[in-house]
Amino acid sequence: MQILDGNLVSKATRDELKIKVAQLVAEGRKVPHLAAILVGSNGASETYVGSKVKTCEEIGYKSTLIRLEETISEFKLLTAIEELNNDPDIDGILVQLPLPKHISDEKVINAIDASKDVDGFHPVSVGKMVQGLPTFIPATPHGVMLMLEHYKIDTKGKNAVVIGRSNIVGRPMSILLSANTQPGNCTVTICHSHTKNLKEICKEADILVAALGRPEFVTADMVKEGAVVIDVGITRVEDTTKKKGFSLKGDVKYDEVAPLCSYITPVPGGVGPMTIAALMKNTFRACQDKN
Ligand code: GUN
C-alpha cells in the first residue's frame, strides 16, 4: 500500500508556480491576484479561506480577502462581485461555499465573470469541462486528477466509482475520470443516496472516490483488494482529547481500508492540500490569459 501524499504533490505544484511568478516579476508583468469572499464566520470556511490566502502569499500572488456579515443581503453580495468583475487587477474570484440560506448559490455563481471563475463552478466553465475544452476545472476534482497524474496511476479502462454527486466534487469528478484523457478514460459509476446495492458497486471499483461527507462511511467490506481509494471527505468530529475540540475525519475508515489498497489518500494531508494547489493553478491560468 502506498500513501498518496497530498502535501508532497501540492508542494511540488506550488514550487513550480512560485518559479513562474518570479519570472513574471522579473519581466515586469502582472502577477496573479485572487479575491476571496467569505460570508459569515463558519469555522471550516474560515480555515479554508485562510489557507487559500496564505498560499497566495507563499507563491507570490496578490490576494484580497473580503469578509462580509452573515446577514448581508444577496443584492449587496452581488454588488461586491460586480466590483471585482470590473476590477482589471483581479484575475480570480471565489466566493466560499456554503453561503447563508437566504442567499442563492446559483445567483452568486452566475454573477462571477466566467473569465475570473477560478472555482470552475460557473455554467460556462462546467459546459466547457463537459465538452473537454480548456477551462477552469473545480479545484477538488482537479487536485485529485493532478495526484493521479503525479503517481502515474493507470486509469485507462478501469472501473471508477464516485460516491457523491455534488456540483463541487462528485459530478465534475465523474466527468474528468471518464474524459478521453490521461488520467481519465475510466468507466465511471456515480453513486448517491438513492443508489441500490452501494456496497456491491463499490466493491467493483478499481478506483473509489468517496465524496459524500459522511465520516468513515467506506468500510473494508466495500473495497476491492488492490483498489485506489481517494478520500475527499473532511468532517470536523467532536473530540474532547484535542485542544481545538475536534478532529478531522475522512469518508473512509482508514485503518481498516488502507491495508487492502494499492494507493490511498490520508485525511488530512491527501486531497485537501491538492485542492489548494489546483486553485492556485487556476488562478495562474486566469492571469496568464491576460498577460
Ligand atoms: N466549499 C467547499 N469547497 C469549496 C471550493 O472548492 N470552493 C468554494 N468557493 N467553496 C467551497
Distance 288 CA to ligand 1 centre (A): 23
**119 is annotated as an active-site residue:** yes
Distance 138 CA to ligand 1 centre (A): 9
Average pLDDT, the chain: 97
Residue type, 172: P
Distance 9 CA to ligand 1 centre (A): 20
- Kindly state if the Cβ of 119 falls inside 6 Å of ligand 1: yes
- Kindly state if the Cβ of 140 falls inside 6 Å of ligand 1: yes
pLDDT tier at 290 (50, 70, 90 boundaries)? confident
Distance 169 CA to ligand 1 centre (A): 9
**156 is annotated as an active-site residue:** no
DSSP secondary structure string for all residues of 45-81: HHHHHHHHHHHHHHHT-EEEEEEE-TT--HHHHHHHH
Instruction: Give the pLDDT score at 43.
Output: 93
Q: Do domains 28-113 and 139-272 have the same CATH topology?
A: yes
The arithmetic mean of pLDDT across residues 9-22, rounded, is 98
**Residues of the chain above pLDDT 70, percent:** 100
Hey, is 157 helix, strand or coil?
Answer: coil
- Sequence ranges of the domains in the chain: 28-113, 139-272
Element (H or E) spanning 279, and its range? helix 271-288
pLDDT tier at 199 (50, 70, 90 boundaries)? very high
Q: Which CATH superfamily is domain 28-113 in?
A: Leucine Dehydrogenase, chain A, domain 1 (3.40.50.10860)
Tell me the three cell numbers of residue 130: 463537459
pLDDT tier at 110 (50, 70, 90 boundaries)? very high
How long a stretch of residues is the chain? 291
Atom of ligand 1 nearest to the CA of 275: 6
Atom of ligand 1 nearest to the CA of 94: 9
**52 is annotated as an active-site residue:** yes
Report whether 262 contacts 225 (CB < 8 A). Answer: no
The arithmetic mean of pLDDT across residues 202-214, rounded, is 98
DSSP secondary structure string for all residues of 106-125: HHHHHHS-GGG-TT--SHHH
- The answer for 230, left when phi > 0, alpha when psi is -120 to 50, beta otherwise, is beta
Residue 244 has pLDDT above 80, yes or no: yes
Hey, is 4 helix, strand or coil?
Answer: coil
Instruction: Give the pLDDT score at 250.
Output: 98
CA-to-CA distance for 191 and 180, rounded, in angstroms? 21
Hey, is 170 helix, strand or coil?
Answer: helix
Instruction: Give the pLDDT score at 164.
Output: 98
* Residue 34: closest CA among 70, 11, 75, 64: 64
Indicate which residue of 5, 96, 117, 249 is catalytic. 96
Residue 291 has pLDDT above 80, yes or no: no
The arithmetic mean of pLDDT across residues 12-33, rounded, is 97
Tell me the three cell numbers of residue 248: 478531522
Sheet hosting strand 228-231, strand order edge to edge: 2-3, 263-264, 228-231, 207-210, 159-163, 187-191
User: Considering just the CA atoms, what is the radius of gyration of the chain in Å?
Assistant: 19
Residue 289 has pLDDT above 90, yes or no: no
Instruction: Give the pLDDT score at 9.
Output: 98
The pLDDT tens digits of the residues spanning 150-197 come to 999 999 999 999 999 999 999 999 999 999 999 999 999 999 999 999
Q: Which CATH class, in words, describes the domain spanning 139-272?
A: alpha beta
